[in-house]
């Protein structure tokens, strides 16, 4: 039996004659029709095995001179199944059948990797479209492997909008620039991204790639490492002084360069006193001296509180009758519960016996306006030691 792009042909050697088949698959478009036709010839027997008999006969695999006399042979559509699986993969843009013969590749017990692919080109419009989709999702962190300053600006503006009263989906971002940028260029990037909601990471780093080859990765990948680490750390735990997965940095910044970059709000990698490769300080690109807004971990705590209290109040109040004191009592109860939970998480600290101050809630028409202050947990960035020396004279 031979099956090619358009026909199924059998050749019988010996026998009474007139037993050869020459079937045009287009004339019998489904598997059930093909099997029925074959069974109408007394010298043959065929059975439908597929649970979907309406599958197309034009999708069965090609074979050449297959023996069907000695033992039964199962005709499959593996070629079509592989094709459909690739088409369904969201990471593959398009799949094109090469040629018309449906020949299944030889079986290989080892993994066989696809080759010949090229990296796609992403336009600014693609990122704009992706961020529009992200507006609908409840996500807390955004990053990108793109080094394009225009893409970074899009992400920054998106995050600022999502952290607004109308956005109501609080989040932070981590981005990184290109390889071989000098200190001045990195500072320009950071200043352009000025915001307490995001971080610009530098420098790049060396690490082994998937093939085991030592490779230089851009600061954009350092930003992705930061994003992954933040996802795994507790809300109040900064990436400051945490070991990074690098063999060495692209550039070892001098002390004066580090000071320049830190003042410009750049999240930088360096070495600690044990010569480990670490994040020196987890900063935002905020361009003024305000610990609350300079520290990425404090901003993470702040955004968590904003999102958490908003969701609690929405569940308890939005869409209910605004009956004065009853509503305010509910506000108080929800607020107190949230404060206790935040303290339990370690994202706020007590000021003496107080966990908050300046708490007010006012009903204004169909609105309830709440204001309060908390003392967020700060990271330990510096340890200063004074050693006073004395000599014991006996």
Asked whether residue 370 is assigned to any structural domain, the reply reads no
Per-residue confidence band for 110, with pLDDT thresholds at 50, 70 and 90: confident
Residue 326 has pLDDT above 90, yes or no: no
Contact call for residues 134 and 160 (beta carbons, < 8 A): no
82 with 129, same domain? no
Same domain, 170 and 220: yes
> Where residue 107 falls among pLDDT bands split at 50, 70, 90?
confident
Q: Are residues 63 and 129 in the same domain?
A: no
Residue 335 to residue 325: CA distance in whole angstroms: 15
Q: Is 90 exceeded by the pLDDT of residue 108? A: no
Q: Assess if residue 315 is contained within a domain.
A: no
Residues 59 and 181 in one domain: no
Instruction: Tell me the β-bridge partners of 199.
Output: 174
135 with 226, same domain: the answer is: yes
Banded model confidence at residue 102, pLDDT cuts 50, 70, 90: confident
| 288 and 139 in a common domain | yes
In sequence order, the 6+-apart residues with CB closer than 8 A to the CB of 379 are 238, 240, 282, 295, 297, 298
Q: Is residue 308 part of a domain?
A: no
Domain contains 343: no
* Domain presence at residue 345: no
242 located within any domain: yes
Same domain, 165 and 226: yes
Same domain, 132 and 243: yes
**Rounded to two decimals, what is the model's pTM?**
0.72
- Asked if 201 and 131 sit in the same domain, the reply is yes
Res 105 pLDDT > 90? no
- The pLDDT of residue 119 is above 80: no
- Looking at 88, 115, 137, the residue that finishes a domain is 88
Q: Is residue 153 part of a domain?
A: yes
Per-residue pLDDT, averaged over 209-221, amounts to 94
Output the CA–CA distances (angstroms, integers) from residue 351 to 266, 302, 345, in the order listed.
Answer: 31, 17, 16
> Are 54 and 151 members of one domain?
no
Do 81 and 143 belong to one domain? Answer: no
- Say yes or no: 231 and 157 in one domain: yes
**How many domains does one find in the chain?**
2
- Which residue, of 61, 88, 115, is where some domain finishes? 88
Give the domain-ending residue among 263, 298, 333. Answer: 298
Q: The domain containing residue 42 runs over which residues?
A: 2-88
Q: Give the model's pLDDT for residue 94.
A: 83
């Amino acid at each position: 039996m031979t099956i090619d792009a358009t026909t199924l042909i059998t050749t019988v050697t010996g026998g009474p004659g007139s037993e050869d088949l020459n079937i045009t698959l287009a004339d019998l478009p489904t598997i059930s029709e093909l099997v029925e036709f074959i069974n109408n010839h007394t010298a043959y027997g065929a059975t439908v095995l597929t649970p979907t008999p309406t599958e197309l006969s034009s999708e069965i695999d090609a074979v050449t001179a297959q023996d069907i006399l000695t033992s039964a042979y199962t005709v499959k559509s593996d070629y079509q199944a592989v094709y459909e699986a690739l088409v369904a993969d969201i990471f593959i843009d398009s799949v094109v059948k090469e040629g018309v013969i449906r020949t299944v590749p030889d079986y290989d017990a080892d993994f066989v990797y696809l080759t010949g692919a090229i990296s796609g080109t992403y336009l600014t419009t693609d990122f704009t479209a992706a961020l529009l989709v992200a507006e609908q999702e409840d996500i807390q962190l955004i990053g990108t492997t793109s080094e394009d300053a225009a893409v970074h600006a899009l992400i920054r503006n998106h995050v600022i909008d999502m952290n607004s009263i109308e956005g109501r989906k609080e989040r932070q971002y981590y981005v990184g620039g290109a390889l071989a940028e000098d200190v001045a260029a990195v500072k320009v990037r950071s200043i352009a991204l000025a915001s307490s909601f995001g971080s610009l990471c530098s420098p790049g780093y060396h690490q082994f790639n998937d093939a085991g080859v030592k490779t230089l990765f851009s600061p954009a990948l350092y930003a992705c490492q930061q994003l992954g680490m933040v996802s795994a750390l507790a809300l109040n735990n900064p990436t400051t002084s945490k070991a990074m997965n690098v063999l060495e940095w692209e550039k070892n910044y001098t002390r004066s360069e580090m000071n320049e970059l830190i003042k410009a709000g750049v999240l930088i990698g360096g070495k600690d006193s044990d010569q480990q490769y670490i994040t020196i300080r987890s900063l935002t690109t905020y361009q003024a001296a305000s610990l609350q807004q300079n520290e990425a971990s404090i901003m993470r705590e702040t955004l968590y509180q904003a999102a958490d209290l908003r969701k609690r109040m929405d569940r308890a109040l939005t869409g209910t009758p605004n009956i004065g004191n009853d509503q305010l009592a509910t506000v108080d109860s929800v607020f107190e519960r949230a404060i206790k939970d935040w303290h339990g998480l370690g994202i706020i600290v007590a000021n003496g016996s107080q966990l908050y101050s300046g708490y007010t809630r006012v009903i204004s028409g169909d609105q309830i306006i709440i204001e309060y202050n908390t003392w967020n947990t700060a990271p330990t960035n510096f340890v200063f030691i004074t050693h006073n020396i004395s000599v014991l004279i006996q």
